[in-house]
């Protein structure tokens, strides 16, 4: 079995969060979805667990960061710069906020950032390792 990551995120509205992540291109795995949590699949090895605040609090006593704060920025690789742009457009059209940070275009790497409705930060990015400038 390959190494996998399950990113756990507290959400205010599970249904709204599911719809948002589906609009970005994630697929719901119904085997790990119920009234308190939803498993959203980005790839074979990357899954996002959306947890109601009540469910989140069964895993930790630590407080949920308040709106306006950033706990992490999660980068997701995309197949092209157009896919990066499409993800940001989908975020903007589905209750999120596109371009909360400055767009970066380094030629070999392109990224933009978005915020989901609960304030979690994502950075869709495209990179062509073959074109990375050599270090001196």
Domains of the chain: 1-61 (3.10.180.10), 70-136 (3.10.180.10)
Q: In the 8-state DSSP scheme, what is residue 25?
A: T
pLDDT class of 37 with cuts at 50, 70, 90: very high
pLDDT higher than 70, residue 136 = no
Average pLDDT over residues 126-131: 87
Cβ-proximal residues to 135 (8 Å cutoff; 6+ apart), any chain? none
The per-residue pLDDT for 42 is 96
Residue 122 has pLDDT above 80, yes or no: yes
Residues above pLDDT 70, as percent of the chain = 99
Give me the torsion for CA of 58, 118, 39, 55, rounded to 10°: 10
**What average pLDDT is seen over the chain?**
93
Q: What is the pTM of this model?
A: 0.87
Backbone region of residue 68 per phi and psi (left: phi > 0; alpha: psi in -120 to 50; beta: other values):
left
What is the per-residue pLDDT across 16-27, written as a single tens digit (0 to 9) for each? Answer: 999 999 999 999
Task: Encode pLDDT of 65-93 as tens digits.
Answer: 888 888 889 999 999 999 999 999 999 99
pLDDT at 1 over 90: no
Half-sphere exposure of 96 (CA within 13 A, CB side): 28
Residue 60 above 80 pLDDT?
Answer: yes
Instruction: State the burial class of residue 10 (Cβ atoms within 10 Å of its Cβ: 0-12, 13-18, 19+).
Output: buried
Total residues belonging to the chain: 136
* Rounded percentage of the chain residues whose pLDDT exceeds 90: 81
């Amino acid at each position: 079995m390959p190494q996998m990551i399950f990113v756990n995120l507290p959400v205010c509205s599970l249904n709204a969060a599911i719809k948002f992540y589906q609009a970005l291109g994630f697929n719901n795995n119904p085997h790990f979805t119920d009234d308190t949590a939803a498993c959203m699949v980005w790839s074979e090895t990357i899954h996002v667990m959306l947890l109601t605040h009540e469910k989140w609090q069964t895993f930790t006593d630590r407080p949920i960061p308040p709106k306006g704060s950033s706990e992490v920025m999660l980068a997701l690789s995309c197949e092209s710069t157009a896919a990066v742009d499409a993800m940001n457009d989908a975020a903007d059209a589905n209750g999120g906020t596109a371009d909360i940070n400055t767009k970066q275009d380094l030629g070999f790497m392109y990224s933009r950032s978005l915020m989901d409705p609960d304030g979690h930060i994502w950075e869709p990015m495209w990179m062509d390792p073959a074109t990375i400038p050599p270090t001196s």
